[in-house]
Structure 1
């Protein structure tokens, strides 16, 4: 919301400078993001008039102008196409300093001296466009400083409005706030009824009371739709972020910005049979004022004429009934109250945004519809002329004002200050609330323009805002401190993030809604959960995997010349599951497990002198996963399997206690071709709940006996995986009490003659130890023999000499 300070001060004029005013607004909940003047700083520019003009003797595009500055006549060489005798325009005199610290001095242009510069709006920093000199009105006083004449020191205040304060999406709404904060008088615009000189009426039928609660309109005949919008109105519109279009559009936009009331103007000749307000029918189409054609459905409201939609109710008008400045003489002005629930999200469904829908879906004043219509009629008659008919006002289904009670004792307890009954009375009075007080209980009737006052806490917030948050002292709360001790068997999300960050991964947070192609390619999900109102057409489904977002992160970094990326994300995924019921943290039919996913791409380590550069591989990331599981890493099984996102020969399913807990592997070559990267990243995705539940550590007494090492080398078929060997050894050790001395084993060498060899050689090292006595060779050899026999029987291995 852009607020022109000079316009605001016509409604309420507190004795505050701009900075103090902005601070007061921010502290009251209307956060000021920026405050800038209407034009950047410059000096030495005055209103001037070209009194004579003649061609330049040596340049076709230049002309020599004699310019009256109010105190003198000077010669200016100018190349602007609109320079002409009698034109009034800004003149930067000798010594003037323009934006960008551009200093004006005497110059000679193609042999002709120039004593200053006639300026465009762009050169003064007023606009970005430049169509020649800035043309000033004929009555502009020559010699007046241009900053003073155009009010260029006016501050444009940008306010970041919260969704609950729709009443402040207007100059009047902000002025109400300022008046309440400062106690100054609020000067309302004139709502004086205009003279009714014709009796023409337009029949309007309301068929949908759940769409339109109140509808008012009137006919105005004999207008000049091609009239010029006054300069003062154009200036206020531009400083509020609206460009001037045509006089009737400008007046409608002005009333919306001034009062917060979106209105619409119909060409009466195109709707002469009358209007019907109803819900749309499936398949109906409407071409909007923007030129976009939309196909309607039953959940969107329309204003129709002759059975044909002419306007999207509360959103945007249609092209068919739009006013034509060249031909329109008679118009119908409409102002209505549309139920917020009937407008909410509808514009987004059609993938556009309008100022009208932005206000109506948050709530617009339903009580002062007629007054606002009178204000708009005043402006139309004063600028365009014409004759006004009577107002037809249909009040069908407007909201009942809410009665909200606030206990003074509760207010004091929440705010922590002894605010008095008199102070609260004064605050509510300045806010314009109707209220009663009985036994220190305030009962407030919510104003028709305040849709955010519903519960006691809302009134307490109003007291705090107007009383002043800065006046509330900083006091530490006095309360019993119940420290919650986190159990040792639970690893919270913060600890989990810290653990993976310590492994050199950086956290990213991606959207939970993703491209549908990602779901099919990376998750094999042919039926993802679709969004009803996606924020972008490509982000149309909910993710069932975190991998797509991580790959997009890598691709983005690669495009920006990053050579090494290691990222992770901890978040929810969303899958269909009919067994899930509605609950406090669940949605019926949607399973929402927490996942931890990560991706590594580029060198294993940052480039350095001590380590040879090599690309990260499957086993580097497998080691990271084992670190995350800690003491349970030995129980993990990495089983070769295929995943839609992963390389068929370089991927594994991760199992723990016979349960699938995740996947690991390189990116599939097909998807690698689609990304703008050269080498395949290594990815993993894990069930975060499994990682968060850790077993209680079981301390063991350290043995004082020496450890014995033995190596075992053997041949086996290449079809047998190392995981199969590990499973066999673990089962054998667990089933034989004599093998409890085998504490650990590890693979340290793999050899094959070539890639097509049918056999491979593995070399493993075993660590054996007894907690009570020193191991004898006979006992060690017996244990090793049992392990060898178990491998021979299970996998037909041959011991290598």
Structure 2
């Protein structure tokens, strides 16, 4: 935010030197990033009069001027053509240094001596471009520095405001702080209107369809204006705070933006279809062209200002080409409104538009200043552009925003700040910045009740008021003390502990964690061969990606981990045990934010044991990774696990992969990466991959097994070799045994598979070992035979097994 010394003095009578003001503003929390003296170092550029203007004897395009300085006459050669005898001009005397480090020296031009230079606005830094020299108003005293004579000598302060201080995004806001510093009253600008036109209600109307998004909308109609260049005072005032002059009507709205901090907008009334305003949400896919000639595609939730047919402005952000002020504009509708800050911020960020208007509205404007800003703008437009103001104003404010009240206690304030302020002093400090602070009804000797104005959106709690007291009293007055603190141990939530346990368990089994970017390329899904209709191809796009390779949020960790494997292999690190435990981002229909789900992906390749003279050269295979997964399942007490063949993932080999299921839930997939996918990543060795859904995994895990008594009695094992069809799987065998195991079966295991001599074609031999034990007694041979016979009969009936 840029303010100037002279502009501040229009609202507060103070005599602080610029350097002192800069220090005081910084100590009040409005840090001054830069201070620049306008016209500084240019006191040698003075007001002078042209006594005579003659043609240069040696050059047709030059003039020879005799210039009166008030203390004598000097001769100057000039190349401009817009001056004549009697004009007052700006003379840069010999020795002057103009902006751009341009030094004025005594010189000869085409053989004629020149003692100075007649300056243009550009050469004095008053304009970016100018034609001819600067002709000054009549009546200025000769010899006086030009900037001082024109009232342009000023000091510009550039403030580095924190986002919470939206109230200081204006000259009046900063002036309010200055008034509090010096203990002087703040004089707000006064709007004096002459309403000579017909009633505004007979000419136009305003309808607000979204009062929650636009609580207040006010308008005035000015007819018969003349659009043209702004007067010098207005151009200079805007230039002093870094604003470019456009035309007199638009310049007034920009002036009020900087002065009061309240954005305004002027519409060409004759371009409004239906001669009315409607405030509504945009429709999905609605197209609108803004003032910067950019076509914007809107969506539901974007607030628009419309005429009788369609949008004419993006509320609080930017106007539209279809209603902008033109040189031939004669009637204008002036808008002053208050918009919901989150709505403006959301639209501004989505469309990538940041303007002075959106900067203020998204931080919170002052709903109470709407009519003042409107009336002052109308009065100034009448002054600089002429015309006639329609009688009355439209002020659509159906439900006034509720009054905000806070309480501040004197004891707590002093305790926090380490001060000894009286409650009356706290009241004085808060009142100095426009806060209505009165003794609290329930404790008038101990606390204050403060009514917070709508300009201070940052004041939400008592501690905010305490901060205001500290700031206004002076940060440099707070005593220095050593802090006192105590450590509090917060236990993490159950889900966090579970994720941490999984990470620790995987690391304990020899795997190294990798962390990849959450952003990937849209082509990542092609490399792992996902089908066109796969839900993981629906991604969340980044609005401002660094590059195309990181333009979408990942929905799977597999591409990133395979990329890491490929990179390590390229650097000749062949034996890899890697994992990544991070969230993926899945879009949700109708929701702006994606569904974040944690997944664990593990990759294994290379030798089974480190290279050495005592180790063999065996390579890892599917069962090495399956063993690690089984170990994890056992560690987290996940039981009744099924391993259906074929993971049904396009990036896994269909004949060398499986799914992991428990309690009817799919926990993940496991298998060898498909050769085609390996080729896409330039990987020349088999890679085995696990993709586990952490949420599903933790939902079926148990913290502990619980206590089970140990039997004091011996166990007995029975082995049986069974001839079964090739189609019978181990899981089918396990399911059949589990269905009839009874209470005497302690466990059972498949310990042998045989095909070959003695086994018919299409058959295989499976050997199982069943261990029996009782908690109550030693089992008899009869009891064991009965229990084992029951299992064998079940296998014969369900699987067609034959005992060998």
**Structure 2 length-normalised TM:** 0.63
Does the Cα contact within 8 Å between 1:437 and 1:443 map onto a contact in 2?
Answer: yes
> Do structure 1's residue 352 and structure 2's residue 353 form an aligned pair?
yes
Aligned-pair distance for 1:181?
2.7
Q: Does the CA contact (< 8 Å) of 2:557 and 2:584 recur in 1? A: no
Q: Does the 8 Å contact 1:198/1:387 carry over to 2?
A: no
Residue 80 of structure 1 and its aligned partner are, at CA, apart by: 3.5
Separation in 2, partners of 1:63, 1:545 = 77
Does 2:584 align with 1:575? yes
Query: Aligned pair 1:449/2:455, yes or no?
Result: yes
**C-alpha distance in structure 2 between counterparts of 1:418 and 1:523, whole Å:** 69
Aligned pairs (5 A) from 1:297-316: 297-316=299-318
2:587, 2:245 → 1: CA distance?
54
- Correspondence for 1:117: 117
Q: In the alignment, does 2:259 pair up with 1:250? A: no
Residue 230 of structure 1 is matched in structure 2 by 231
> What displacement does 1:455 show?
1.3
> In 2, Cα distance between the equivalents of 1:306 and 1:291?
22
**CA offset at residue 211 of structure 1?**
2.1
Residue 541 of structure 1 pairs with residue 552 of structure 2 = yes
* 1:613-692 map, 5 Å: 648=682
Change (3 A) 1:536 1:115: same
| Cα offsets for 1:278-300 (capped at 9, x unmatched) | 11123332222222222222211
Measured against aligned partners, the alpha-carbon deviations of 1:627-680 in whole angstroms (never above 9, x if no partner) come to xxxxxxxxxxxx999998997258997x9xx9899xxxxxxxxxxxxxxxxxxx
Kindly provide the CA deviation profile for residues 492-533 of structure 1, in whole angstroms up to 9, marking residues without a partner as x.
x9xxxxxxxxxxxxxxx99x7757469679999974852575
| Equivalent in the alignment of 2:362 | 361
Partner of 2:106: 106
The verdict on how the C-alpha distance between 1:374 and 1:651 changes in structure 2, with shifts beyond 3 A counting, is farther
1:333 corresponds to which residue? Answer: 334
Q: Give the structure 2 partner of residue 189 of structure 1.
A: 189
Deviation at 1:433, TM superposition (A): 1.1
> SS of 2:95's equivalent?
strand
Q: Secondary structure at the match of 1:21?
A: helix
How far does the alpha carbon of each residue in 1:716-747 deviate from its partner, in whole angstroms, 9 at most, with x for none?
A: xxxxxxxxxxxxxxxxxxxxxxxxxxxxxxxx
Q: What residue is the counterpart of 1:293 in the other structure?
A: 295
Question: Which position in structure 2 is the counterpart of 1:774?
Answer: none
Q: Could you tell me which residue of structure 2 aligns to residue 3 of structure 1?
A: 3
How many corresponding residue pairs? 569
What SS class does the counterpart of residue 261 from structure 1 fall into? coil
Match in the other structure for 1:208:
210
Aligned position for 2:25: 25
Q: Is the 8 A contact 2:225 2:386 kept in 1?
A: yes
Rounded Cα–Cα distance in structure 1 between residues aligned with 2:18 and 2:132: 33
The answer to whether structure 1 residue 461 and structure 2 residue 482 are counterparts is no
Aligned-partner Cα distance in 2 for 1:652–1:72: 96
- Give 1:190 deviation, angstroms: 0.8
Distance 1:415 1:407 in 2: 12
- In the alignment, what sits opposite 1:602? none
Tell me which residue corresponds to 1:158: 158
Q: CA RMSD in A?
A: 4.1
Q: How far 1:476 moved relative to its partner? A: 0.4
Q: What runs of 5+ residues in structure 2 fail to find an aligned partner?
A: 491-496, 501-514, 531-535, 564-579, 602-672, 693-804
Q: Map of 1:581-592 to 2, 5 A cutoff?
A: 589-591=595-597
Change over 3 Å in CA distance of 1:411–1:96 after alignment to 2: same
Distance 2:110 2:528 in 1: 71
Larger Cα-atom Rg: 2
Q: Distance between the aligned counterparts of 2:522 and 2:484, measured in 1?
A: 54
Does the 8 A contact of 1:524 with 1:644 survive in 2? no
Q: Which of 468, 473, 477 pairs up with 1:471?
A: 477
Q: Distance in 1 between matches of 2:76 and 2:466?
A: 64
Cα deviation for residue 204 of structure 1 reads: 1.4
CA deviation digits over 1:339-387, x for unaligned, max 9?
1122123123222221111111111111232122111111112222222
Higher mean C-alpha displacement, 435-444 vs 165-174: 435-444
Per-residue deviation, 1:26: 1.8
Distance 1:291 1:92, change over 3 A: same
> In structure 1, what is the equivalent of residue 434 of structure 2?
432
- Is 1:530 the counterpart of 2:531? The answer is no
Deviation at residue 87 of structure 1 after TM alignment? 4.8
Residue matched to 2:621: none
Partner residue, 1:265: 266
Q: For residue 318 of structure 1, report the CA deviation from its aligned partner.
A: 1.5
How far, CA to CA, are the matches of 1:540 and 1:69 in structure 2?
66
Q: Is 2:105 aligned against 1:96?
A: no
286-295 or 135-144: bigger deviation: 135-144
Structure 1 residue matching 2:395: 3-state secondary structure: strand
Equivalence for 1:395: 397
Aligned to 2:280: 278
